[in-house]
Amino acid sequence: MTDNQTAARNKRISHAVMLIILIVMFFAFVFPFIMVIVNVFKTKADITSDPLSLLGAHGFTLKNFPEAMRKMNFWRSFGNSAIITISSTILTIIFSAMTAFVIVRNKWKACALLFSLMVASMVIPFQVLMIPLVSLYGGTLGILNHRATLIFMHTGFSLSMATFMFHGAIHTNVPVDLEEAADIDGCSRWQTYWLIVFPLLKPTIATVAIIDAMAFWNDYLLPSLVLGRKELYTIPIATQVFYGTYSTDIGLIMAALLLAILPILLLYVFLQRYIVEGVTAGAVKS
């Protein structure tokens, strides 16, 4: 056997091993999700006795969904989550994109300092700010238990990462020549940004939208600190009604979890083609 044949065979073997490893990892990651889908159509007794079976002894059932929606007041919680997630995501995109544009296009020392501070703030754990945050907004200002307060906090905590992503995208993918041409044509700075620059950021906008929307929709810790009234509960907080001290209805929990992830799953399917492009938009410096 020649050296070329040996090299080709080793390459095929390595590819096959890599493929097997990826397949095993894929099933390891999706297995919990598959178990949720399988067990959500089974009774509590069937889930407890044999959670790995495809069909329980009592057969196929849809009772978990209406019962879960009733107990967690699903539509009210869904509305709260939708308002908070959509508002926070839109505000984050608008403010971070404008901030990144100002930082990239101006060589002021204040811009460089601001960008450095924003990047540095990304490494600060939320748990460090948790107690001072509640003490300030609850004890001093008394503005907890409001959706607007949570939207404001979500936007503030997500601005640094979003600005960092938009900074790379504008620096790499938005030529200054386009802005100069718009200026010659009579566009103001404001018009240039909204008509020329912002539309070119579509991949990054989609990426920031899906990342932040997932984070806001699934967040439990911050809403649990800010929202104390039941009528303001988001879906992650509302699911705690299924966890009892002595017993837990796994079927209802899985039904609630499946209902909770469907909106974000649909958003991801709709925007996923932009994600890779958006993440790599600022990765290569021109």
Do 94 and 202 fall into the same domain?
Answer: yes
Residue 150 included in any domain: yes
Do 34 and 134 fall into the same domain?
Answer: no
Residue 203 included in any domain: yes
The whole-number average pLDDT for the span 246-271 is 80
Distance CA 215, CA 283 (A): 23
- Contact between 76 and 231 under an 8 Å Cβ cutoff? The reply is yes
The structural domain count of the chain equals 2
Give the side-chain half-sphere CA count within 13 A for 59: 3
Distance CA 240, CA 72 (A): 8
Do 118 and 197 fall into the same domain?
Answer: yes
Confidence check: pLDDT of 157 > 60: yes
Encode pLDDT of 63-103 as tens digits.
888 888 888 888 999 999 999 999 999 999 999 999 999 99
Residue position matching structure tokens 């919680």: 77
Residue 251 included in any domain: yes
Do 21 and 82 fall into the same domain?
Answer: no
Confidence check: pLDDT of 286 > 50: no
Choice between 261 and 284, residue whose per-residue pLDDT is larger? 261
Fill in the amino acid letter for 59. G
Do 102 and 160 fall into the same domain?
Answer: yes
Task: Please name which of 212, 196, 203 lies closest in space to residue 274, comparing C-alpha atoms.
Answer: 203
**C-alpha distance across the termini of the chain, in Å:** 46
Do 106 and 247 fall into the same domain?
Answer: yes
Residue 68 included in any domain: no
Do 28 and 153 fall into the same domain?
Answer: no
Do 35 and 82 fall into the same domain?
Answer: no
Encode pLDDT of 106-149 as tens digits.
888 888 898 999 989 888 888 888 888 888 887 778 888 889 99
Residue 57 included in any domain: no
Domain membership of residue 150 as a residue range: 78-279
Fill in the amino acid letter for 95. F
What is the 3-class SS of 117-130, one letter each residue? HHHHHCCCCHHHHH
Residue 105 included in any domain: yes
Residue 25 included in any domain: yes
Do 154 and 239 fall into the same domain?
Answer: yes
What does the block give as tokens for 232?
Answer: 């303001």
Do 87 and 204 fall into the same domain?
Answer: yes
Do 137 and 242 fall into the same domain?
Answer: yes
Residue 223 included in any domain: yes
Do 274 and 209 fall into the same domain?
Answer: yes
What confidence category does residue 280 fall into, taking pLDDT thresholds of 50, 70 and 90? Answer: low
Distance CA 39, CA 238 (A): 21
Which CATH number is 207's domain given?
1.10.3720.10
